């Protein structure tokens, strides 16, 4: 399912990718943009999984990238569920304890130097 990155409205078309100047009928956001592309990832230096793409300053704005492929919203939701499950397992492992207060930190520091 292909959805708009801004409002989540489904893009229904027989075309594989939206046109460069095509926009969402519901919120008027550009559809052919980095935020809708399956290759977009903030983890990469160019924020794109394809290393030889040109830098795009406005990730929500239209671009002329030939590598554009519409992100599958169902797959993205599955990834979010995996991330949430992993975060929950980590919290179960290490606990969800509140950080120590300033007074507790000071007491611990003073105990280091007590004779």
What is the Cα gyration radius of the chain? Answer: 22
Domain-located, residue 105: no
| pLDDT band per the 50, 70, 90 thresholds, residue 31 | very high
In tens, the pLDDT along 85-95 reads: 888 888 888 77
SS3 46: coil
Domain-located, residue 114: no
pTM over 0.75: no
- Provide the Cα torsion 75, 67, 40, 12; round to 10°: -50
Residue 30, beta-bridge partner list: 23
φ, ψ for residue 10, nearest 5 deg? -75, 135
Q: What is the pLDDT of residue 81?
A: 76
User: Which H helix or E strand runs over 66?
Assistant: none
SS3 25: coil
- Domain hosting 62: range is 1-93
The structure tokens listed for 29 are 């956001």
| Structural domain count of the chain | 1
């Amino acid at each position: 399912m292909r959805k708009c990155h801004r409002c989540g409205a489904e893009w229904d078309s027989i075309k594989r990718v939206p046109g460069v100047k095509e926009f969402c009928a519901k919120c008027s956001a550009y559809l052919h943009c980095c935020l809708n592309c399956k290759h977009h990832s903030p983890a990469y230096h160019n924020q794109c999984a394809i290393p030889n793409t040109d830098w795009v300053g406005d990730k929500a704005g239209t671009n002329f990238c030939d590598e554009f492929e519409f992100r599958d919203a169902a797959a993205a939701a599955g990834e979010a569920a995996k991330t949430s499950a992993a975060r929950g397992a980590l919290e179960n492992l290490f606990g969800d304890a509140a950080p120590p207060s300033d007074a507790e930190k000071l007491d611990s520091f003073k105990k280091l130097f007590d004779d």
